Structures are given as structure tokens and as C-alpha cells.
Structure 1
Amino acid sequence: MSEPQRTPFVDSLLEAAAQARLPGSEIGWLAAARRENLDAFAAGGLPDTRMEAWKYTALRALGQRRFAPGDDQAAARAVDVAAFALPGIDGPSLVFVNGVFRPDLSRVDALPAGLSLQPLSQALQGDAEPLRFALSRHYREGGDEFARLNAALAGDGVVLRVAAGAKIAQPVHLLFIGAAADDDLAWHVRHVIELGEGAELSLVEHHAASAAHQHLGTQVADVVLRKGARLQHVALQDAAEGSTLIRHDSVQLDTQAQASLYLLELGGSLVRHDLHVALAGDESRLDTRGVFVLHGRQHIDTQMAIRHQALNTASESVWRGVADGRSRGVFRGAIVVAEGADGSDASLSSKNLLLSGQAEIDTKPELEIYADEVKAAHGATVGQLDERSLFYLRSRGIPLVEARAMLTAAFCRAVFESLPQQGLREHLNHQLLARLPSS
């Protein structure tokens, strides 16, 4: 097999790795894992459309760009964190600007009992052994190229633990702000999150921007829910429109654990999200609900894989996509019910609207069943607004533009109806409405 072609993108990040002075560099096992992942990234290069996992997302233009690590101090100091406040979310928080932890903007004093919350850079200064399993991971699968890059270069992130039996009343807020005025800066964050047996937590993750830029951001998260734990995770992605954001999330649910994930994708020029969930314990349950709204030349690619690995597990996934202009959305949802996962119940719905003749959405639900007594269903649609509904609204005197917006909003809004925090639910719907086309 011929070696992959080296690109300015790969070269620039290898140069950054050679110059990096990352936290924890003195920890032998961590340094070894970083080297192995960097070598794998250098050997593999960027993925291309010949790979099934990247079939609909070309990275040729990204490959010609060079990125440098750095922190625009002037822009970072000018950040007004109040501009990114979310209704009802005023509890513990970690704030990162251009991938760098900002203690002056964070709220980590007087944490509730049972909650441990700190930046990765700080956690590595203490006993790093509890992080070894997650941070020594070697990514070898095709399609994991950016996870390798992140594992090699991540210098900060979130370490969050909830003790067994602890029920954290206030949501925890993780805020990531792109602030540099200069283009072509790269940042990489790594998260390790664990909920102990019977623990409960609401987590709100927000990617935002205080200025237009063309950054590269990568994020890898390892999330584990122990027996009976419950997690509600809301993720709002509203990054700068010129930016590239690559995410790789792995979630493991042990016996009777429950996770509810709500995702709203609005920003970014090129966004890729790999979400891998393992229902590893009997009677574990997952609910995922996501919406993307695209315009211009935005490109968002979501690759979700849910594995039912134990008895009587359940998953329900509801996704909606809206594409306008010359944008492109990609959604691949794979559900695998493994041998021995008898009695599992899985459903997946992907419905999408094209608001422009030049927009495109590719959706591919997949279902593999190797167990008995399983309930499973999946469906996907890509279409336009219903002309009869438009005609009905216009016959009531509603202008065409407003009628289209009303129908599109109704199409998306139902996704967040089950979110219990009313203020946050209304905020997500408001952000969604603000991104819908006005003409």
C-alpha cells in the first residue's frame, strides 16, 4: 500500500506537535500514548471519500490549509462571557477560550457535594492514574484519524466525576469560545466524564464564537455511566461560520443507566460529529434527539453508532435536518443489536427538509440484528415543505416567507419538547428559529 500523500494540513500539525509543551508530558504512559497516536496520524494522513465513513465529506480544501497552535491573548481578554449566558444555567462552569482554560471566567468555587470538576491541565498535575484508561487509548480504526490527532495534541479539556449516589441539582455548564481574530489557529480538548453508581447530572455544553474566524477545533470525550446513573446532556453548537469542528464522543452505559442527549447544530463551515454509544449493561436506555439547520455552504456530517450489547436495552433516536442555500447535511445512524442482547428495543427516525434546489442531505439509517425477541424500526425521509400546508396558511393571509418559516419551525421544534428545563428548551428553540431562512 502506498503511503498517504502529505498535505500542508498534516505537516503543520506535525510541526506543532514537535514544538508543543503539553501538560503531563512527564507522565510516561501518557507521553507514549501521544507518540503512538501521532505516529498513526502521520502514517494515515487525512481520511478521504474512498473510506465509507467519509464518503460524503471531502477534506481536500482542509488538507491545503496550515494551522498553528496559539492563543490570541488580546482577543481572549476581550471576551464577554455574559454574552453566552443560558437561561437557568448559573451553576458550576468551566470556560475555555481558544481551547485554553479560563479560571477567571469559570465557576468552580463551592462545588456541590459529590461533584469533582476541573480542567484536564490541572488534573494532570495531580494523580493522573485514574485518567490512564481513557488517555492511554490508541485509535487504530479507519475513520478515527482526528481522534488520533486529538489524543496526540490535546492540552486541556474537562475532567468531571460525580460520586456514587450523588444527585447534582444544578446543571454543569461547559463553554468553549472561539475568540481569536486571526485565522488558522488550532485547539484540541479532551474530556473524561464519569457518573458513579446511581449518580445524576445535567450537563450543558456550548460551542460559541465572539468573532468570525477560521479555526480548527477537535474534541474527544469519553463518558461512562455506572449502574443506575442518569445523564442529561444538552449540546449547542454555534461556532463561527468559517470554522472547522471535529468531535468524537464515546458513551458507555452500564446496567440500568440512562442517558438523554439533545444536540442542536447551527454553526461552523465544516462540522463532523462521531457519536458512539455502547449499551453495555442490562436495561440501559438511550434517547438521542438532534437538529441541524444549515445555510450558505455549510457542511455538517453526523455519524452515529449505537450498539445494544446487553439484555432488554432500549434506544430511541430522533433527528431532524434542514438545509438551505448550497449547504449539505449528512446523517448516518447505525444500530447494532449484538448476539445475546435479547429483548432490546431500538428505533431511529431521520427526517429532513430541503429549502433550496441546490441544498443536499444524505441520510443513511442502518440496522443489524443478531439477537432474539427484538423490536427495531428505522426510517428516513428527505423532502420539501408540504405544498398543501403552505397553501392552507397562505389562504389564511399569512405571507409565503412567514408560512415557510412556521412550517419549518414546527418540523424541528418537537425534537426538544421532552427537555425538562423550560428556559433552556425555549432558548434552543429561539436559536433554531433565528437560523431559519427569512426569504
Structure 2
Amino acid sequence: MNPSASTPLVASLLDAPPPASGIAWLDEARRENRAAFAAGGLPGARVEAWKYTALRGLAQRRFAAGDAAAATRDVDAAAFALPGVDGPRLVFVNGVFRADLSTAAALPDGLSLQPLSQALRDDAEPLRFALSRAALVGHVREGGDAFVQVNAASATDGVVLRVAAHARIAAPVQLVFVGAAADAELAWHARNLVELGEGASLELVEHHVGSGEQAQLVTLVGDFVLHEGAQLHHVVLQNAATTTNLIRRSGLRLHARAQMQLHVLELGGALVRHDLQAELVGDGAQLHTRGAFMPHGRQHVDTQLAIRHQALDTTSTSTWRGVASDRARGVFRGAIVVAPGADGSDANLNNKNLLLSPGAEIDTKPELEIYADEVQAAHGATVGQLDERSLFYLRSRGIPLAEARALLTAAFCRAVLDDLPSGALREHLSALLIAQLPA
């Protein structure tokens, strides 16, 4: 047995048995994942994907399972209001669906949107394939899957979103996950399933917010499946409370000529990790990711991006920016694999990072493996400081040093937001970036 299997965190996550659903295959899957987590424990430094994110401090904490009062917690809806985002919305508070905060009564034709808890009550069978698997779409299990196992054993709510073939959903759909102040340190979990039919299109905004001084442990696991010719624009704004430990795993699967744009902004949290694993399985599939992470104080933000080209003439572009200040730490791993037979693939990954203080640290690791012919591929990563010549230029124009540093840093990060189609949302996210900068 892994020594980490006996830590206080593992013990607290195993204190309660998996929730019983009355659905035989789901209850069995929950028991299997709980047993796997109990045997394997937490990933350690020997697991390559967790090399730069130590869990020693988190492992010594204990969290209560769920929040019995989540349905009545007082939540300010203004905390998750976003300009230009006024379509259907599902809100979850400490992992529990809140109908009173959601707006999903009148959905456009072709859109099915409901909480996972309701989908399981109405007809669980269509979800069997997704929820009974021990791993995400196309993902090969490894030693770092402990939190996926926890999620599979414990998540009772989340999102089931489907867009019918050829349906074009005009208004953006918003998914909100609120970590609300509670009476104890909580662990809660959510599971999302998103599927776009052939030729469908959707804009999806995922928003994480929080309040309160109690620490929380949150796991969020999602599958995204885009069928032939589907188009998805996914925006993720993570601004959780500074005491939140947020661990996410997203599996993306793109079929022929499917296109996905992903914009990610990581601002909040104490320990934040996001594993993004994408498979381009159909000819001509395209994936474009843009992201910025800005840890400060003692924050730790870890992004793991893995893209696998498996079909002809697929394309991926990835542009990520990191800015760390105070004693914060950022981690970015960008891995691209062009599999045998994926001839004509075009892959480009770029990660640039800034350190704004002597105690800050960013570890970046680009990886590229090519097993096909006639491939265009490039990757690069840098870690540095603000350009002194640019600072001098701005200072010579009468701009104070602090303001000059903020201007240059904001411009550095805004490069990942320039192609957001919504001008109002783009300006809002840019303002959040600027507010995050050290004074």
C-alpha cells in the first residue's frame, strides 16, 4: 500500500461510504473507485505529473464530506454576474444544485441542460457509459488519478449538457460553482458531461467563485465530446476563495472537423490544479487553447495540458502566460503527441512567464513527440522578468514605476484574451487581470 494512503486527508475522504443512488451499476462504480483510492492514496513526487506540486500540506488536513446546509446558504448572485453572459445558467453551491439561483426554465430548441442529480433520477441509463468508467474519455489511468477516483466515488451532482445535431445556441450558457462559507472545512465534488452533436455550436462559460475563511477541497471532473463539425467556445474563469484547494480534470474529445476554443483565466484558490487532456480523433479537428495563471501570496497554480493528435490534418495552437509574485508558485506542463498515422498535423505551443518578485517561482516543461510524417510542430517556453528597456521608456514618459510595471504585465497577459468574441466579457476579464497585479 502507498504510505500516503494513511494520511489524515485520505482518512477523512474515506470516513463516509460512497453515496447510495439505488442504481446498481453506479453504486458499484463508486465502490470500485473508493477502493482504488483507499489502496493507492495520494500521488507523490515519483509521479511525474505531480513532480512540482507537493501534497504534503494538504495531506495533513481533514475535510467534512459535503454540506447539509448547501441548499439554504446565502449567496450573492452579483458575485457571478458577467457582462455579455445572459443565457441559461446552472448554479451549484458547495456542490449542490440551486434552482433558486439558476435560470434554465425556458431553453432554446436543441439544448438540453440539467443537473446531474436530476438526470440520474429521470433516466440514468444514457449516462451509464460515462459514469461507470474509471477514467475519462480516452484517458489511460496512471498513478496521479487519486482525485479522479475521489470524484467518481463521491460526486452526486454536476452538469449534463447536450446540444442536438445542427443546433446553434445563440446565448452563452453559464455554469457557476460557488464555494460558500460554511461551519466546517468541507470537501465537495462535481461531475460534468458536455456533448455537442454533429454540426452543433455553443458558447459555454464556467465560473468558479467563493467566499469564507474555511478551507475547502473541491474536485471537478468533466468530459467534453464534440461530434463531427461541432463548434464549442469554452471560457473558464477561476476566481475561487483564497482558502480553496481546487483540483480539476477535463477530458476533451474532438471528432472530424470539430473545432474548440478554450480560454482559461486562473486567479483564485490556494492550491489549484487543472489537468486538460485532449484527443483529436477525427480528420481536420482543431483545438485552440489560451490561458493565463497569476498566482500571488502563497498560491500554487498547476496547469497540465496534454494534446494528442490521432487523425489526419488536425490542428492545435496553445498560448499560455504565467505571472507569479510574492512567494507564489506556478507550474505549466504542455505536452503534444502526434501519433502514428496523424500525418499533416499542425501543432504549436507557447508558454511565456514573468516573475515579479525574488521569492516567486514558475516551473515550465514543454514536451513534443512526433510519430507521423509531414508534420508542422513547434513548442517553446520562457521564464523571465519585465523588460528593463520598456520600463525605462514608460518612466521617461512620466509614468510612475508601479503603473509602468502594471501596464507591461497587463499587456503581457491580455494576449491570451484578444480573440475573445465578446468585447464586454473581454474587458471584464482584462480588468480582473489588472486587479490581480501586485500594487
TM-score (norm 2): 0.97
Shift in Å at residue 141 of structure 1?
A: 1.8
**How far apart are the structure 2 equivalents of 1:376 and 1:404?**
33
Match of 2:201 in 1: 200
SS in 1 for 2:171: coil
Match of 1:28 among 24, 28, 53: 24
Match of 1:15 in 2: 15
SS in 2 for 1:415: coil
User: What are structure 2's unaligned runs of at least 5 residues?
Assistant: 136-140
Is the 8 Å Cα contact of residues 295 and 326 (structure 1) preserved in structure 2?
Answer: yes
2:141 is equivalent to residue 126 of structure 1 = no
Match of 2:308 in 1: 307
Match of 1:142 in 2: 143
Shift in Å at residue 74 of structure 1?
A: 7.9
Q: Deviations over 1:196-254 (max 9, x none)?
A: 00000000000001333311100000110000000000000000001100000000000
Q: Deviations over 1:9-66 (max 9, x none)?
A: 00111113x1x535xx211111111111111111110111121110001101111111
Match of 1:40 in 2: 36
2:284 is equivalent to residue 283 of structure 1 = yes
Shift in Å at residue 127 of structure 1?
A: 1.5
**How far apart are the structure 1 equivalents of 2:104 and 2:202?**
16
SS in 2 for 1:350: strand
SS in 2 for 1:357: coil
Q: Which amino acid is 1:248 matched to?
A: R
2:106 is equivalent to residue 106 of structure 1 = no
Is the 8 Å Cα contact of residues 216 and 243 (structure 1) preserved in structure 2?
Answer: yes
2:428 is equivalent to residue 430 of structure 1 = no
Is the 8 Å Cα contact of residues 73 and 180 (structure 2) preserved in structure 1?
Answer: no
Distance 1:82 1:188, change over 3 A: same
**How far apart are the structure 1 equivalents of 2:126 and 2:201?**
21
Shift in Å at residue 130 of structure 1?
A: 1.3
Match of 2:319 in 1: 318
Aligned length: 434
Q: Deviations over 1:290-344 (max 9, x none)?
A: 0011110000111110000000000000000000000000000000000000000
Match of 1:172 in 2: 173
SS in 1 for 2:123: coil
Q: Which amino acid is 1:388 matched to?
A: R
2:354 is equivalent to residue 359 of structure 1 = no
Cα root mean square deviation, aligned: 1.3
Is the 8 Å Cα contact of residues 79 and 210 (structure 1) preserved in structure 2?
Answer: no
SS in 2 for 1:402: helix
Match of 2:417 in 1: 416
**How far apart are the structure 2 equivalents of 1:5 and 1:212?**
27
Shift in Å at residue 82 of structure 1?
A: 2.4
Match of 1:230 in 2: 231
Q: Which amino acid is 2:19 matched to?
A: R
Distance 1:183 1:360, change over 3 A: farther
**How far apart are the structure 1 equivalents of 2:54 and 2:363?**
14
**How far apart are the structure 2 equivalents of 1:128 and 1:41?**
25
Q: Which amino acid is 1:418 matched to?
A: D
Match of 1:398 in 2: 399
**How far apart are the structure 2 equivalents of 1:73 and 1:147?**
25
Shift in Å at residue 4 of structure 1?
A: 4.5
Q: Deviations over 1:269-304 (max 9, x none)?
A: 000100000000000000000001111000011111
- Work out the percentage of aligned pairs sharing the same amino acid: 69
Is the 8 Å Cα contact of residues 72 and 179 (structure 1) preserved in structure 2?
Answer: no
**How far apart are the structure 1 equivalents of 2:330 and 2:377?**
25
**How far apart are the structure 2 equivalents of 1:108 and 1:340?**
43
**How far apart are the structure 2 equivalents of 1:101 and 1:166?**
26
Bigger mean CA offset, 47-56 vs 315-324: 47-56
Q: Which amino acid is 1:320 matched to?
A: R
Match of 1:117 in 2: 113
Q: Which amino acid is 2:127 matched to?
A: L
**How far apart are the structure 2 equivalents of 1:187 and 1:74?**
11
Q: Which amino acid is 2:381 matched to?
A: A
Q: Which amino acid is 2:315 matched to?
A: A
**How far apart are the structure 2 equivalents of 1:241 and 1:4?**
25
Match of 1:93 among 84, 89, 93: 89
Match of 2:253 in 1: 252
Q: Deviations over 1:159-182 (max 9, x none)?
A: 000000000000000011111243
**How far apart are the structure 2 equivalents of 1:66 and 1:318?**
37
Match of 2:138 in 1: none
**How far apart are the structure 2 equivalents of 1:341 and 1:2?**
38
Q: Which amino acid is 1:287 matched to?
A: H
